[in-house]
Each structure stands twice: as C-alpha cells, then as structure tokens.
Amino acid sequence: MIEIPHIIAHRGASIEAPENTIAAFRVAGARQAKWIECDVTLSADDKCVLIHDDTLERTTNGTGLIHKQPLSALRELDAGAWFSDIYKGERIPTLSDTLETLFFMDMGANLEIKPSGCDPVRLCQEVAKELGRAKKIPILLSSFDDIAVAEIRRLLPDMPCGWLLETLPDDWRKEYATLGASAIHIDHKALDRDMAAEIVAANVPLVCYTINAPDRAHELFGWGVTSVITDDPARMIAAIPHHPNPKGHKV
C-alpha cells in the first residue's frame, strides 16, 4: 500500500509552467509538492509519452493527432513556448524521462492512463513495461477508460488504480467492485457532502480534481476527501500545509 499526499500537482505546477513537462514537475517539487498528476498515452510507434489532449495544437507547435506521430517527431516539437518564452524549447517528455526525474526528486505520481485514440490495452501493456523497468517510486494509476482500469488491474494487480469519473453513477458500488479499483477520482464540482459521505463510509479513498481555491479544498477535506489535485500547489500547500487527517490515507 502507498500513502497518498493531500495535495497533488495537476500536470505538475501547471499554473506556473507548461503542463505535463519536466519543467512543470520540477517547479512542483520546488513548491514542496510530494506528488504530481500527469497524463500518459502512446505515440504511433507505441512509446509512452506525456500529453493531455488527443491533438498537438494546444500545448505544442505541432498539429494533428498524437497517436499518429512517431516519438522521433513528437520529440522535435516545442511544448513550452505556448506558455511562456521562458520555457521555449521544452519537450514532450516520455514516461521514462518522467519516472527518472521523479525518482531523483523523491516524488510520486498519479499517472492517468489516457488512450487518446490509441488501443487502451496496448497502452496499459506499454505502461506496465515502463513501470517494470523504472526505479521504484510511489505510483497511483487512474483512468476514465473502464477497459484500461480492468487491464491495469490484470497486469499490475498489486498497483493501485483509481476510477476516474466526471459524475458519480447511481450504481457506483457495483461497478467499482467489478473494476477492482482502489480509489474514486472525481470532479469536485460533481460532488456534494452526501455523496462524499457515502464514498468515505464505504472506505473508498476519494480524490478530487481540479481545485485551486483553498476554501473549497478545506471544505472537501471536511467531507473526508483523501486528496485534492490542483494547478497551484504553492498556494494550496501554503494554505493547507498538512493533511487534515494526521493518519493520512493509503491505497
């Protein structure tokens, strides 16, 4: 089992640096974040790369679908200049780059499995290979894709995997058990006190995204939420330096 920190940096410190880049992860570490959240998908040649969108336009100077581009082409793109000239030349990282960086920074990760047009089973297989080769760090996997959650549970039965949701289904208990998930990750805007109480009473770790207001984070922790994912870890950690539950939460 692993302990989840109460604050996780969304795509790194994405309010200060270009999301899903090594620079954003380093800034998050400098702001005292213990974990980052990031998105992993496959290139055309089945290499694990970190990027959120299905397409390249928003966060790079490239165009088109990520899963149609080989790693060699993706690595030529600029993934930082869109954010600031300071980050001009920042590259799309591989999962291997990221895991190595986090190891040396003594950080963990919530790694979102994001098929983005590629085969979710193949993505899970490649992620499992990368994790098997990498130096060990705390990892919590997660995905919106039920196929991916089930495949990760099959490939890596000892590694926790959260079920990502935009809203909570009425029959969430049955599907959660069927998937064999280790936590629920949900949009905080879809959550109310009663829903949170139901999940917490079932001893299910509850992770909420994406919260940038400390007052809202305080409210969520008051409901028993395990962890909040934020674009602004510096602000959130300054406002809430320690987990409201001193015993912490494990998955």
Q: Bridge partners of 139?
A: 109
Residue type present at position 179: L
**67 catalytically annotated:** no
Q: Which of 6, 52, 188, 249 is catalytic?
A: 52
- Show Cβ contacts of residue 145 under 8 Å, excluding neighbours closer than 6 positions: 113, 114, 115, 120
DSSP string, 188-235: GGG--HHHHHHHHHTT--EEEE----HHHHHHHHHTT--EEEES-HHH
Give, as one character, the DSSP assignment of residue 171.
Answer: T
Helix pair 120-133, 95-104: axis angle to 10 deg: 40
Cβ pair 41, 49 in contact under 8 A = yes
SS3 165: strand
**What per-residue string of b and e applies to 207-217 under the rule 16 or more CB within 10 Å gives b?**
bbbbbbebeeb
**52 catalytically annotated:** yes
Q: Which of 10, 67, 188, 249 is catalytic?
A: 10
Cα–Cα distance between 32 and 8 in angstroms, integer? 10
Q: List active site positions.
A: 10, 52
